[in-house]
Structure 1
Amino acid sequence: MSKKIGIIDLGSNSVRLVIFEILPSGTFRLVDDIKETIRLSENMIDGRLLNDIAMHKTVKTVKLYRKLCNSYGIPCNRIIGVATAAVRKAENRDQFLKLLTGATDINFRLLSGEEEAFYAFKAATYSLNIHEGIIVDIGGGSTEIIFFKDNSMINSISIPVGAVVATENFIGKDVINQENLSRLEDSICEMLKDQDWLRQEKNKTLIGLGGTIRNLGKIHRNRIEYPINYTHNYEIPIEDFNSIYNDLANMDLKSRKKVKGLSSKRADIIVGGLAILKAIISVCSPSRILTSGFGLREGILFDYISKTNPRAKFTDALSFSLKSFMELYGVRKNHAKHVCFLALSLFDQLKYLHNYGEDARKLLEVASLLHDIGISISYYEHHRHSFYIILNSRLAGFTHRETLLAAAIAASHSDEDFKEDWQTRYEKILLPGDIELWKKLSVFLKLAECLDRSEMSVIKALECQILGDTVKIRTIREGDAELEISLANEHSNTFRKVFGKFLVVT
């Protein structure tokens, strides 16, 4: 039986609830997400006490969140409550947490900066296929910076300045004074001056977490008219970041609220958050910025699953993500895995024809495993449904380009042509040669699908030979495979158009 849990994050800028459904295998899906902007760290009394209005507004919000959790059948003991920088630095934090627990029956844990960094590290490394880099999590009241290598957390620091604090203490919300902005950047650099590990290696990837960097990504996608509105694993060139930062810093609040992609509720604090990022970039000199759709709450979720479910194996981001999608969408695993086996066998034995490497092989593997996922919507035209499900999924471990190509290959597995104008619509994501790559890998998937058409794994193995202008595929089978062989040979013309050779399947 699956179970649902709620995670409530008392941040310096907002109070947020996310609800996840967790399956016995450890796979999960997000089922609800709600946020209220409260600004706990704003207007603190003497800079050290949470004010009564913010505290009571938080209590009221958490009460509503508890009711929402209860409507999902989630008792209080399955609601994980955490508080971060604003509460951490408040001298009346114990009084506030006691008030909150007494009013809601939810126990809130006060996270240290080190714990925030740990959860940010888990969120990033469990959801991206990157093994070394700098993680930056800019919150409202603090910023966590982590250096990781070989999937291990090497160094970290938590600095007591986030987007809200930077705005309130340095630059204000409306017209930005450039001297104050420089003073803010200098202050962040001063806090990091003894962190030699940030300067050791240049050209690292910087992975950005939190609302500031998610909004940066949205602004950038709107600027370049990017065809997918998808935050996770989105790349922003450093020069583009600098351009956006400079533009926003020279606008007043009214103008910033009109910027496409920028949340109106974050327009007053976005420059403060980006100034922190600017200072960090000046120190560690990354080669690029990647935005992560996973953050503190997902890090807490990963940690919870690891501790409560020994069956869950977070070996790598893509494998876990694939397993999750196959389970959540009811993919027929035996058929999918056998089609994948046959497709990869064709790829490996016919490498002379295509000369692609491991990256292309991974695309074919993912497309093969998920090619029938569209049946969860409808069998008819399920190849088209597969395309949109895969493309709009949070397929962790894949870039946007890889996700698009996997979706297009999966959608091309059936006898019906995939007629969507995806090549034009998503042109900005594709690289030269990608259409040829799609065509060739799609042929392998078409053939593999035919060779398991009965879904009984009759064909156990394949032996491929390239003989002059002909490719011969001999099937090694147990049982009658007449249907499978006949259907595969129907694709001989397609094979010849793509590879320039005749195809004979026996």
Structure 2
Amino acid sequence: MKNTNEDYSAIIDIGSNSMRLVIYQKEKTGRLYEVENVKAVSRLSNYLDHEHNLSPEGIDVLLNTLAHFADVLAIYPYRQFMCMATATIRQAHNRHELIKLVKQKFDWDMIILSEKEEAYYGYLAVVNSTSLTEGITVDMGGGSTEVTYFKNRELVHSHSFPFGTLTLKALYQDDLTEQENAQKVRQFVKDQFESLPWLRDRHIPLIGIGGSARNMAQIDQNEKSYPMAGLHQYQMNVYDINRILNYLISIPLSKREKVEGLSKDRADIIIPAIETFKVLYETVKADQFILSQKGLRDGINYSWLLANHDTAYFPNVLEESLNEIVMRYNQNMNQISHVHFLTRKIFNQLFAQQLKTLTQADWSYLSHAIYVFNLGQYIDSESSAQHTFYLLANQTIDGLLNHEKLIIALIASYKDSVTFDQFVKPYKSWLTKHERKKYRLLGSLLKLTYALDATKRQVIQNVDIQMKQKQIKLIVYYKKNPSAESYQAEKQKKHFEKAINKKVVLQFNQLN
């Protein structure tokens, strides 16, 4: 039975190691989100024969997998569709025959991405889903490895190396140990990277894309009992990479297949991949390794979404992501804008008084938290704080690193000091005692300013502050009856008083 919602898009990605069908549905925000993700481990590069043709066995694997995908696709009336192939089909001498076969059997136009296109889509995915303005991306597949350098979010250089996890694994010799084979791979990729002068000594982030980078990050998270869900923009350093690499080299394949976070179908090729990341990290002299969950297919999605725009990327990734959340959870944008105005007025006066060593960076966190304050009421008003914290801490928010996401989650979910301490407990090592106090203050301030728009009518027109040694007078100017706002503000001010260690006096003045 066909799905009646017709706003679907689909991408078939024919890679060297695996093939995927991903189906997306368009949200009311205009963004695309996954509704199906079907993977088949095909390892097509193993079917390139001595004449560099995809063998008859490989063609069977290709067509049989596509037939399975066609069955899944049949229930989705998609509007946009792309069937694309990368390194193995690109390198196959009989690629034109393969294009004809796919057309005859499925009536699909199989597009073979050029090396330049494949690298570009990876770059596009990163600049549209992170706040990074400069970096080196590496997308390692089974048959090729794409690297790009971008600065000020603009693509400067790109290159595709004709090696991937499967081709590097093919360098292994049976009479050598795992350590000796790893050393062989290390020297090979080092020579390859040294051939590109623009990779050297950049001292910028290295951003990993694709399944091998994702598996490495998953292993690291599991080893560290990482308390936050989500991999996008997860950070590692060279010590993490070395630790994981040395451990995996030291154990046999049978044990490697059982390592938490490592897909069984990647256990035999993960070491060449991590060796490659390590060598590239050292070549770039990277300051950190950041995982991007968004890759080639997402880059294509962004190219669709931005087809009618002047630039290839969103002006502000984080604002786009927050606006998407606002729409998804039916947040009130008029209230958000008004609370933003009131909160800014109070914050600026607190900042001018150098209270609790507040900084402009703190305003940035607070202003973002305004968008998503009390988000959890969408699920259940009684346990709104718990749902708010969980939703924000455990979903991808493009443009935010995990520690930034934690800060915004703590501020936006603020209920009281006890609940705040419960939420922050698993992350205590992430924040200093001073930072925890400061974010508790910002959370209590936000709770108070939202109380000043309790009826969502924007009856409070302005606020002013008079500060004394042990007291803050908050002068509130209104036009319409503010009784609900007055009641809620008096009720909630105790949290702000406790965080700021001063008595708060509310004075409501009517405007003429």
Give the TM-score of the pair, scaled to structure 1.
0.93
Equivalents in 2 of 1:295, 1:274: separation in Å? 18
Segment drifting more, 476-485 vs 390-399 = 476-485
Match of 2:390 in 1: 388
- Whether contact under 8 Å (1:174, 1:268) holds in the other structure is no
Deviates more, 1:208-217 or 1:488-497: 488-497
Question: Which secondary structure does the structure 2 equivalent of 1:461 belong to?
Answer: strand
- Shift in CA distance, 264/304, structure 1 to aligned 2, threshold 3 Å: same
2:185: which partner in 1?
184
Of 45, 63, 68, the match for 1:41? 45
Report the counterpart of residue 133 of structure 1 in structure 2. Answer: 135
Task: Give the 5 Å matches for 1:418-429.
Answer: 418=419, 421-429=422-430
Provide, for residues 464-489 of structure 1, a one-character-per-residue CA deviation record: whole Å limited to 9, x for no partner: 22133221222232211122123212
Once residues 419 and 320 of structure 1 are traced to their aligned partners in structure 2, the CA distance between those partners, rounded to angstroms, is 27
- Find the residue that maps to 1:231 and give its secondary structure: coil
Distance 1:176 1:356 in 2: 56
Does residue 1:14 correspond to 2:34, yes or no? Answer: no
The residue type paired with residue 262 of structure 1 is L
1:96 and 2:98 equivalent? yes
C-alpha spacing 1:448/1:246, structure 2 compared with 1 (3 Å): same
**1:407 lines up with 2:397 in the alignment:** no
Residue 249 of structure 1 and its aligned partner are, at CA, apart by 2.2
Determine helix, strand or coil for the equivalent of 1:171.
coil
| Residue aligning to 1:374 | 376
1:31 corresponding residue in structure 2: 35
Q: What residue in structure 2 maps to residue 197 of structure 1?
A: 198
Task: After TM superposition, list the pairs within 5 Å mapping 1:283-432 onto structure 2.
Answer: 283-307=283-307, 314-351=314-351, 352-412=354-414, 414=415, 418=419, 421-432=422-433
> Structure 1 residues 312, 241: CA separation in 2 closer, same or farther (over 3 Å shift)?
closer
Report the secondary structure of 2:135's partner residue. Answer: strand
Deviation at 1:310, TM superposition (A): 8.4
Residue 271 in structure 1 maps to residue 306 in structure 2:
no
**Contact map agreement 1:145 1:156 (CA 8 A) in 2:** yes
Distance 1:447 1:47, change over 3 A: farther
Task: Give structure 1 regions of 4+ aligned residues with deviation exceeding 4 angstroms.
Answer: 172-176, 308-313, 414-417
- Structure 1 position 502, deviation (Å): 1.2
Q: CA RMSD in A?
A: 2.4
Name the SS of the counterpart of 1:426 in structure 2: helix
- Rounded Cα–Cα distance in structure 1 between residues aligned with 2:337 and 2:33: 22
Determine the C-alpha separation between the residues in 2 that align with 1:173 and 1:485.
78
209-218 vs 387-396, which moves further: 387-396
The answer to whether the Cα contact below 8 Å between 1:346 and 1:464 also exists between their aligned partners in 2 is yes
Measured after TM superposition, the shift of residue 43 of structure 1 is 3.6
Residue correspondence of structure 1 range 30-179 to structure 2 within 5 A: 30-46=34-50, 48-74=52-78, 78-168=80-170, 170-171=171-172, 176-179=177-180
Measured at CA, do residues 47 and 216 of structure 1 come closer, stay the same or move farther in structure 2, by a change above 3 Å?
A: farther
1:222-237 aligned at under 5 Å gives the runs 222-237=222-237
Q: Given that residues 149 and 156 in structure 2 are in contact (C-alpha distance below 8 angstroms), is that contact kept between their aligned partners in structure 1?
A: yes
Distance in 1, Cα, partners of 2:12 & 2:174: 27
Deviation (angstroms), 1:500 = 1.7
Tell me, what secondary structure is at the counterpart of 1:421? helix
**Cα drift, residue 417 of structure 1:** 6.4
Cα separation, 1, equivalents of 2:311 and 2:450: 31
Q: Answer whether contact 1:173 1:268 (CA < 8 A) is retained.
A: no
Q: Distance in 2 between matches of 1:66 and 1:327?
A: 33
Return the offset for 1:427. 3.2
Q: State the SS of the aligned residue for 2:505.
A: strand
Question: What displacement does 1:24 show?
Answer: 5.8
How many residues align? The count is: 501
Distance 2:383 2:429 in 1: 26
> Which residue pairs with 1:464 in the alignment?
465
Q: Does 1:444 align with 2:445?
A: yes
Identity %: 29
In 1, Cα distance between the equivalents of 2:416 and 2:195? 62
Instruction: Supply the AA of the counterpart residue of 2:23.
Output: I
Q: Contact (CA 8 Å) 1:205, 1:286: kept in 2 or not?
A: yes
Give me the whole-angstrom Cα distance separating, in 2, the residues matched to 1:164 and 1:433.
49
Q: CA deviation at 1:45?
A: 0.9
1:253 equivalent in structure 2: 253
Q: Is 2:47–2:57's contact at 8 Å kept on the other side of the alignment?
A: no
Aligned residue identity for 1:30: E
The CA distance in 2 between the partners of 1:392 and 1:37, in whole Å, is 29
Q: TM-score, normalised by structure 2?
A: 0.92
SS, match of residue 106 in structure 1? coil
Residue 47 of structure 1 and its aligned partner are, at CA, apart by 6.3
Report the CA distance between 1:84 and its aligned residue: 0.6
The one-letter code of the counterpart of 1:89 is Q
* Mapped partners of 1:372, 1:498: distance in 2: 19
Check whether the contact 1:343–1:447 (CA below 8 A) recurs between aligned residues. no
Check the 8 A contact 1:339/1:369 in 2, yes or no.
no
Q: 1:336 to 1:63 in 2, by over 3 A?
A: farther
Q: Aligned pair in 2 of structure 1 residues 503, 26: CA closer, same or farther (>3 Å)?
A: same
Report if the CA contact (8 A) 1:227-1:428 is conserved. no
Shift of 1:176: 4.6
Aligned-partner SS, 2:184: helix
Q: Secondary structure at the match of 1:433?
A: helix
State the AA in 1 paired with 2:61.
Answer: K
The whole-number CA distance in structure 2 between the counterparts of 1:187 and 1:484 is 68
Q: For residues 56-108 of structure 1, what are the alpha-carbon distances to aligned partners after superposition, in whole Å with 9 as ceiling and x for unaligned?
A: 22222223323323323325xx2222111111111111111221232222222
**Which segment is superposed worse, 439-448 or 187-196?**
187-196
Closer, same or farther: CA 32–365 of 1 in aligned 2, 3 Å: farther
Change (3 A) 1:94 1:172: farther
CA contact (8 A) 2:28 2:327 kept: no
SS in 2 for 1:418: helix
Q: What is the CA-CA distance between 1:174 and the residue it aligns to?
A: 11
Q: Per the alignment, do residues 313 and 179 of structure 1 end up closer, same or farther by CA in structure 2, a change over 3 Å counting?
A: closer
Distance between the aligned counterparts of 1:500 and 1:440, measured in 2?
10
Q: Give the AA of the match of 1:41.
A: S
Query: What SS is found at the alignment partner of 2:19?
Result: strand
1:130 to partner: Cα distance? 1.1
Match of 1:484 in 2: 485
